[in-house]
Amino acid sequence: MQFLKKWNGLGWAVICLLFCGQACTSDELPEPAPGVDCDQLEVNYDLNIKELIDRSCSYSGCHLDIAPGRYTSYEGLLDNLTEGKFEQRVLTLRADPILGMPPNNAPEGRPKDLTEAELNLIRCWLDKGFPEK
pLDDT in tens, 20-59: 444 444 444 334 345 679 999 999 999 999 999 888 876 6
- Answer yes or no: is 63 within a domain: yes
Q: How close are the terminal C-alpha atoms of the chain, in Å? A: 83
Residues 39 and 58: their CA atoms lie apart, in Å, by 30
- Residue 61: inside a domain, yes or no? yes
pLDDT for 4 beyond 80: no
Torsion of CA 50, 52, 57, 61, to 10 degrees: 30
Residue 23, SS3? helix
6-10, 95-99, 126-130: range with highest mean pLDDT: 126-130
Residue 53's contacts (CB-CB under 8 Å, 6 or more residues apart) are: 63, 71, 77
Within a domain: residue 107? yes
Residue 113 has pLDDT above 80, yes or no: yes
Number of domains in the chain: 1
Domain that holds residue 60: 38-127
Backbone angles phi, psi at 98, to 5 degrees: -110, -45
Q: Does a structural domain hold residue 71?
A: yes
**Which pTM does this prediction carry?**
0.68
Instruction: Establish if 31 belongs to a structural domain.
Output: no
Residue 25 lies in a domain: no
Poorest-pLDDT segment among 6-20, 76-90, 110-124: 6-20
